[in-house]
Amino acid sequence: MSKQERGRPPLPEPLGVPTVDSHTHLEACGAETAADVAEIVDRAESVGVTRVVTIADDLDAARWAAQASTWDDRVWAAVAIHPTRTKDFGPAEQSEVERLAAGERIVAIGETGLDYYWDYSPPDAQREAFRWHIDLAKRLRKPLMIHDREAHEDILRVLDEEGAPEDVVFHCFSGDEDFARRCVDRGFVLSFAGTVTFRKASGLHDAARFVPSGQFLVETDAPFLTPHPHRGRPNEPYCAAYTVRGIAELRGQSAEEVAEAARVNAERVFRLPVVTSP
């Protein structure tokens, strides 16, 4: 049975306080129009996920994300060229990314970084593009949102060599407690996706237990990485509520405490308007 045949997971019980999906791909979730975006975010808001950051990974997606962020006050955006797409990342592409990134509703430069799992772009091209995005984030004074797949050591090395921006977010954090500690010591923020709910992700569980309350975010990376127990079904921003509860169980906290911390951290990192929980 295909993902679409199985359909989306059921709506979870609403969270008691609002939170933020800090990394989703609304276009990949099937959104094309303002009405599509509103429908997806309405579902999320119905369970307490009241704002989302939609992410771009190529120029077309960046243009769409920038536009979509103007359609709905609950939507913000991040733009960059994904490391697997950096093979042909030249001056024209850089100029367009920089133009889009300067937009008022663009709250981060991302996702950028290194991906040594796929071989779509040579490592040297990835590293060169990563350094360029780091510089852009510093020049625009916006957070850097990192994609890190099987590249932990090189990610830290490049950040140390270039000098990290004030705010660095490790999207879909995939390290263990030791790597989490090294990131936290540098002041970085760890964003946890549905993978943190997977039963065999013991290293990731340890990282989620360790990370200080002021240095984590919650994300879906929708339509990918649907949380347990709905792996294999299409993900959407409302499923962040499942991940919030999974993190809460790992940390021995209430879902409301985790949701609140994730929201406050997202407001600080992305400079979002502050919302007071009821």
> Which residues participate in the annotated binding site for a divalent metal cation?
23, 25, 111, 147, 171, 221
- DSSP class of residue 149? E
Here the tokens at position 20 are 């933020």
Using CA atoms, how far apart are residues 78 and 54, in angstroms rounded to an integer?
6
Strand, coil or helix: 26: coil
E strands, 30-167, are 49-55, 75-79, 106-115, 144-149
Here the tokens at position 144 are 């850097």
Distances (CA, A) of 96 to 21, 192, 208: 26, 30, 36
Q: Which residues contact 239 (CB under 8 A, 6 or more apart)?
A: 9, 12, 194, 220, 222, 226, 227, 230
Single-letter code of the amino acid located at 133: H
Helix crossing, 202-210 with 177-185: angle to 10°? 30
Strand, coil or helix: 168: strand
Name the H helices within 212-254: 240-251
Which residues are annotated binding-site positions? 23, 25, 111, 147, 171, 221
Closest CA to 25 of 193, 181, 198: 193
